[in-house]
Amino acid sequence: MDQPTFRNPVEDVPTAIAIRLSRLQQLFNSFDPSPFHEKDLDQDAEEYIVGSVDDFPLPRPLKLVIQLPADQLAVAEALHLEAGIHNYFTYRTGEARRRMRFLFREGRIALLIGLAFLFMCTLVRQLAFTLWPYAAAQTLAEGLLIVGWVAMWRPLQIFLYDWWPIRHQCRLFAKLAEMPVEMSAAEALPFQVHEKAGAAEPPQRASAS
């Protein structure tokens, strides 16, 4: 008989990532002329939200809490604030995936070029031993071998290291695109908030007007 699995109920309770705003316009880029639910997030607000979420393991349930003055809560709900945030991070997810596809395409091209160059270096290396004295051929052969493997550095860097940060970004943005968004009055917070929430309020930017 299978043993019952016990889960800690605390682990299922989303941790709140809170961001305190004095006005709703601080959350979005004031220079973006798109409709409200398609606007880009303000750079400082995005960096704070992404950095706060990245502090936690990806499987950890989280929620974003937007703290606004009480008189702006109704406006935020009418403007479908949650949909606007989700739309933005859905766009960032697609952007990161396109970047990763481009990186792998660059890696495949670099790999073909590197292999062809390494083959040519190896061929010239073998010819050097048949055409030149051993001492000169040995010096040239060692140089060609080093240069040939140096040409493989870029594709190896791409396939071994460069794609990991982009893959992490894809997963992070995908989580943000589905993370619950709540709004609350700035005067009170009846739940536990991530420790960075009160200390890293995005600075207010000057309005385009």
Encoded tokens for 168: 């992490």
pLDDT of 110 over the 90 cut: yes
Q: What is the pLDDT of residue 42?
A: 84
Residue 95 has, within 13 A of its CA and on its CB side, a CA count of 10
Q: What is the pLDDT of residue 152?
A: 92
Q: What is the pLDDT of residue 193?
A: 40
Single pTM value for the model: 0.74
Q: What is the pLDDT of residue 8?
A: 46
Q: What is the pLDDT of residue 11?
A: 58
pLDDT bracket for residue 21 (50, 70, 90)? confident
CB 181 within 8 A of CB 37: no
Encoded tokens for 194: 């991530």
Q: Cα dihedral angle (25, 87, 198, 186), rounded to 10 degrees?
A: 60
pLDDT of 18 over the 70 cut: yes
Of the candidates 175, 207, 181, the one whose C-alpha atom is nearest the C-alpha of residue 68 is: 181
Q: What is the largest CA-CA distance in the chain?
A: 88
Encoded tokens for 88: 């933005």
Q: Write 122-131 long-range contacts (CB < 8 A, 24+).
A: 122/148
In 22-160 the beta strands, taken as DSSP E runs, fall at 62-68
In angstroms, rounded to a whole number, what is the distance separating the alpha carbons of residues 2 and 194? 37
Q: Sketch the domain layout of the chain as residue ranges.
A: 15-185
Give every strand in the sheet of 181-185, ordered side by side: 15-20, 62-68, 181-185
Q: What is the pLDDT of residue 164?
A: 95
Helix axes 163-176, 43-54, angle to 10 degrees: 100
Q: Quick one: 46 exposed, middle or buried, by C-beta within 10 A (0-12, 13-18, 19+)? A: buried
- Specify the range with the lowest mean pLDDT, choosing from 44-48, 97-101, 119-123, 133-137: 133-137
Q: What is the pLDDT of residue 195?
A: 39
pLDDT of 207 over the 50 cut: no
pLDDT bracket for residue 115 (50, 70, 90)? very high
For the residues 146-160, what does the mean pLDDT come to?
A: 91
pLDDT of 138 over the 90 cut: no
For the residues 19-25, what does the mean pLDDT come to?
A: 82
pLDDT bracket for residue 28 (50, 70, 90)? confident
